[in-house]
Homo-oligomer: A and B are copies of this chain.
């Protein structure tokens, strides 16, 4: 039996303010819930609308389809909704490469970048404070479960970068051709905002400006930030793989 107050709490978590206040976030669908449980995230509540699922999910509560719909952010809820405690994530300095995002605003882009970090074995994604919240439902959906394996950490990005003693790479339209760079074993890759790229303040902290060469007629358009991140992470890893 779900109470009105619980429904109110769950729907409030669609807003970042309440997610931060309660330290809770919502995911929907069996696959996402299972992936979070597998990596050991702690569920606060699990709601299912079908009694068969009670066998699969220990401690889940049975609700009616209409109650689930009230709590869901989807137009067609898909049978299970999980409220999880946010992970406490600490910065880990013992990693090879880190990705840092400067004001990435589109949830789909952040989700795709988290999924890419997972693919390329980047354990830690550093985000400026004005990057979109990684617990935003659209971000979570786009990660396809990778949120469970990548630590997303929000920091004052200029201060963070100032403490780095590794090279800091940044993607710029007019940077040096990445094919001609020998990428090191350890570094930070900074990717900028969709419309404005890397901000001026952060630009000053970049030690290596890189670019993906363009082969078509040169037009003003840049690549989308998630696409560019895909290509540059591939460059980082292929460099390491080839050297071994």
Contacts and interface: CB of A to CB of B under 8 A. Distances in A.
Interface of A: 112, 115-122, 144-146, 149, 179, 212-217, 219, 221, 223-224, 226-227, 230-231, 234-235, 237-238, 241-242
A35 B117 CA distance: 34
A141 to B, nearest CB: 13
B237 A213 contact: yes
Given A179-B242, A216-B149, A119 B223 contact: yes
27 contacts: A112-B224, A112-B227, A115-B221, A115-B224, A117-B216, A118-B219, A119-B212, A119-B214, A119-B216, A119-B221, A119-B223, A120-B215, A121-B215, A121-B217, A122-B216, A144-B221, A145-B221, A146-B221, A149-B217, A179-B241, A212-B234, A213-B237, A213-B241, A215-B237, A227-B227, A231-B234, A234-B234
Nearest to A239: B179
A122 B214 CA distance: 11
A213 B239 CA distance: 13
Contacts of A227: 112, 116, 226-227, 230
A115 B221 CA distance: 9
A149 B214 CA distance: 14
A208 B210 CA distance: 31
A118 B216 contact: yes
A121 B217 CA distance: 7
A196 to B, nearest CB: 16
Given A119-B215, A213-B237, A234-B234, 15 more contacts: A112-B224, A112-B227, A115-B221, A115-B223, A117-B216, A118-B219, A119-B212, A120-B214, A121-B215, A122-B216, A179-B238, A179-B242, A213-B241, A215-B237, A231-B231
Complex A-B, nearest 9 residue pairs according to Cβ-Cβ distance, in ascending order: A121-B215, A121-B216, A227-B230, A231-B234, A120-B215, A230-B230, A118-B216, A179-B238, A215-B237
